[in-house]
Structure 1
Amino acid sequence: MSHGPSGSSASNDGDSTNRRTPAFPLLSAITLITMLAIGYSALHDDGVRECGPRQVPEEAFSLIDDIHSNSPLPYPATDGGHFGNYENELPQEHSNYYREYTVPTPGRTGRGERRLVTGGGTPQDPDVYYYTWDHYESFCEIPESDVE
């Protein structure tokens, strides 16, 4: 009996005990369930996933409100400064497109790892908002409807 690339039997004799099921559907299902559990949703054309409803902490939304109202920021020496996108995790833009802000972490002294990166527009009205919880290792895009 010959076997094809998937490992399934070429014979159609009704005996399914020797047939192997590819692992891909199971892995895909596990990946999807994991992504939904942590709040991921659609992948944008720019390759950055949209943040899910439980993925962005309330402190990030408070920071967005402060940015919009031009209120004092938690770390004025760094907040609103240039973000270089040196990791290339965000879409390629001109050098002054991105700005970074520290998202406060309750109970932590210092800046921590959470950041908000905005892009385009003006400092008080950016075109796009990205959140990173792991100091620029990964990002998700905050939906525009969540920041209005």
Structure 2
Amino acid sequence: MRQLKPLILLVIVLFAVTFWSRHAGKPEATAPIASHADGNAAPRTPDVAKEGSASLPAQARQMVQRINQGGPFEHSQDGVVFGNYEGLLPKQPRGYYHEYTVETPGARTRGARRIITGGTPPAVWYYTDDHYRSFHRFEVAR
């Protein structure tokens, strides 16, 4: 029986390590995956609500103007490629999305608010106020 205890412990540890390594780093689904009538899974649609730019905070509306004018931008990160690592925006080739800081009054850092544009010049616009946890699509008049 003494020889079985280390063997059982080893099996439990191996199971735990295998389970952890398969699930580590995988984000939890934020929305259920829809199924087609034939039972095949459909890709998850990002939670992106269309809204007018008038519903954006004043700082975001100012940033939209700066983006359309080509600057100036206060932060060196403004205009850099947004990787869409969260996978919440529609899949596009690397370099399609760019991010811009939306100032947060009173914040000492860049804060959590961003505008993400897609295309050059921007064809699609997204706003996040929770540091990429959710996005809201909005339209910009040309």
Could you say which structure has the greater relative contact order, defined with CA pairs below 8 angstroms and 6 or more residues apart?
A: 2
1:142 aligns with 2:103: no
Number of corresponding residues? 98
Change in CA separation of 1:47 and 1:114 when aligned onto 2, cut-off 3 Å: closer
Aligned residue type for 1:138 = S
Please report the TM-score for the alignment, with normalisation by the length of structure 1: 0.60
Percent sequence identity over matched residues?
42
SS at match of 1:142: strand
Please report the TM-score for the alignment, with normalisation by the length of structure 2: 0.63
- 1:84 and 1:74 map into 2 onto residues whose CA distance is 21
Q: Which has the higher strand share?
A: 2
Aligned residue type for 1:134 = D
SS at match of 2:67: helix
Moved over 3 A (4+): 52-55
Q: State the 1:62 CA deviation.
A: 0.4
List per-residue Cα deviations over 1:62-114 (Å, max 9, x = no partner): 01111111221121x10000100010110001111000011001111210000
- 1:55 and 1:85 map into 2 onto residues whose CA distance is 24
1:133 aligns with 2:113: no
Q: Which has the higher helix share?
A: 2
Question: 1:2-81 to 2 correspondence within 5 Å?
Answer: 48-51=48-51, 55-75=55-75, 77-81=76-80
Cα contact 1:74–1:104 (8 A) shared by 2: no
